[in-house]
Amino acid sequence: MSPPGVSVSDIEVEAQRQKTALLFRNAGIAQAVNVVNGSLLAFVNTTLHTDPWLAFSWWALMVAVAAWRYGIARRFATAVPNAVDAVAWRHRYIAATAMTAALWGAGAVLFSWHAPDGVRLFTGLVLAGMVAGAVPVLAPVPAAFRIFALLVVLPLAAVLSLQADSVLHWAFAAMVVIFLAAVLASATYLHESLDSAIRLGLERGRMVDTLEHARAVAEAALAEQKGAERALLANEERSRQQLEKLVMQRTAELATAKVEAERANNAKTRFLAAVSHDLRQPLSALSLYVGALGSKPSAVDGLVVANMQNCVTSLSGMLSNLLDLSKLEAGIVTADPGDFMLDALIANVVSSQEPEANARGLQLRCTVSHLIARTDAILFRRIIENFVSNSIRYTEKGGVLIGCRRREGKMWVEVWDTGLGIPEDKTSEIFEEFRQLGNYERNRAKGSGLGLAIVAKTAELLGLQIRVRSRPGKGSMFAVEVPLGEAVKPAFRHAYSHRPLRIAVVEDNAEVALALTHALTSAGHEVIAAASRKELWPRLDGRAPDVVISDYRLAGSETGFDVITSLRTAFGNDLPALLITGDTDPSVIGRMAAERIRVQHKPLDFEALLSRIADLVDKNR
């Protein structure tokens, strides 16, 4: 590309002048090579084959033409022609080159005609050397080289072809033609490179001139700009001060909004905790009564008990979700990572969810992966269970598939269903608390709207990614990342004791206390029940209980912590103790964890309570 103000034709003319000058610059060496190689070729052929007078005549003409060409080169150097005159000089050089080439071509015929193979080979080598050596000398003007190469090589090829009487002769002639094609291509490439270099140098020179002019203009403009910048800086300073004032105002507004949001969130947490506690009291009693009734099916209607148990299970699940969410928001849930067999965990999920899937006429399947995972197995299972139960709940026909797949360099557990699907713009909303798509009537069968919110917070706690893909009317895919672990050793399983125990129960809610007493007594245990610590002491009659169970919130300011601390002071710190509560307040849950007190949350499940009691006693043996 030519610089501004310089036409392409100007650069073209100057490039041709420089290439013409290169031709004449090498002319002296070229003529010396012509004389030396011509003398050598004439001498050898005179000795071996050619008539001496013919060889001498050819040599004399070669020397004469070389001397004449050398004189032309000297006159060119003295004249120093401009770009216009250089055209005529270039034509003279091409004509002189044609004369030299014709002499070499005549020599090829003279020295190769009916000559021995050795003489032909020597002649061919000399001529090939002359043509190859002419490539860099004549490359500035391709026409000059083409004339030289054709006039030198073609006569030799013609003689070899006309007098060929063997495969060797034909091969020699073919090699001469191939050599001609090769040197023509090489000269063309060299000319293109030389031409590009010359033009680039010319363009750079013109650009330097242009840039020098542009620099002078820029310096003048810079001086003018500095004056404008000083005025602009003053305006910017005023704008900066105004912006800082606006930022401070907006920051104060955001801080106020943050405080309001935190206040609202705390109010929500306190509300959930209070509602959860108040609902758990009667629900806990109901659960214990249903458990006790279920252990004696002959005394009551089995269908009634089953329906009652379904209601209790549904309410218990909703309150458990509230409790789980409160624990996660309180930040007291800690991960306990370990290695476990992923297939076993998925099989347990399938086993627990299969009855619900079968009841809805769905297929629940899983694939085998043989993988070992490393994370908190309990929390990880909760994620998978929530995915599966959510898929079952929103799938009317077809089924649910659990499997593992590698994607983006990671392993994932994926849960696929053929359910209703989720619109693309709603996939982020489903992880919000109490958010359910398509359940505006709050149908209990579709859950509480907390399951996926718990999934999101649990995955964040474990440091795992979750993904969702869905197509409305086709189904959804929920996935969670699986960190890989090492081989798992079989876990030791405890055999719980079910011997009759002497159990102290402190519960100020009469309904719950009566239900708890009834349930434990029906299991064969001796129960000493009281509403407070003061009421319990005389009933113990100085004898230590095997286990103490206390509600967290008691009458007045007394708490279950006070009851347990008092009894352990009297009967030893190893006294098994269980705290029962319906609280979901994060501060309360945090204190329980800090005190290392075993906790059973309301509503109480009959079998789970008995198992927890047996576990406490067995560990204290």
Q: Are 550 and 577 in contact (CB under 8 A)?
A: yes
Q: Please, which residues have CB within 8 angstroms of residue 569's CB and are 6 or more apart in sequence? A: none
Quote the CA–CA distance of 290 and 482 in Å, as a whole number.
39
Of 393, 384, 390, 386, nearest to 413 by C-alpha is 384
Q: What is the pLDDT of residue 431?
A: 62
Q: What angle do CA 332, 337, 339 make, to 5 degrees?
A: 160
Domain end among 141, 163, 185: 163
Q: 109, 127 in Cβ contact below 8 A?
A: no
Q: Residue 216: is it exposed, middle or buried by C-beta count within 10 angstroms (0-12/13-18/19+)? A: exposed
Q: Domain total for the chain?
A: 2
Domain that holds residue 451: 333-482
What is the reported pLDDT for 171?
82
* Residue 99 belongs to a domain: yes
Integer Cα distance of 63 and 31 in angstroms: 9
Identify whether the C-beta of residue 382 lies closer than 8 Å to the C-beta of residue 454.
Answer: yes
Whether residue 112 lies inside any domain: the answer is: yes
Closest CA to 448 of 533, 560, 564, 322: 322
| Whole-number Å distance between alpha carbons of 198 and 192 | 10
Q: What are phi and psi of 86, to 5 degrees?
A: -65, -25
Identity of the amino acid at 104? W
Q: Does residue 300 form part of some domain?
A: no
Residues 46, 53: Cα–Cα separation, whole Å: 9
Residues of the chain with pLDDT under 50: 1-8, 299-300, 434, 436-448, 490-496
Q: Does 545 reside within a domain?
A: no
Q: How far apart are CA 549 and CA 600, in angstroms?
A: 10
CA–CA gap between residue 595 and residue 564 (Å, rounded): 11
35 assigned to some structural domain: yes
203 assigned to some structural domain = no
Please tell me the pTM assigned to this model.
0.38
Indicate the residue type of 431. Answer: F
Question: Whole-angstrom Cα distance, residue 391 to residue 384?
Answer: 11
Would you state the pLDDT for residue 528? 92
- Do the domain assignments include residue 533? no
| Structure tokens, 50 | 């050619």
Nearest to 100 by CA among 145, 43, 45: 145
Q: What H or E segment, with its residue span, contains residue 612?
A: helix 606-619
Is 62 within the bounds of a domain? Answer: yes
> Is there a contact between 38 and 62 (Cβ–Cβ < 8 Å)?
yes
Give me the sign of the Cα torsion angle 382, 385, 387, 390.
negative
Write down which residue in 110, 130, 163 finishes a domain. Answer: 163
Over the range 481-494, which residues count as b (16 or more CB within 10 Å of their CB) and which as e? bbeebeebeeeeee
**3-class DSSP state of 528:** strand
The residue from 144, 163, 182 where one domain ends is 163
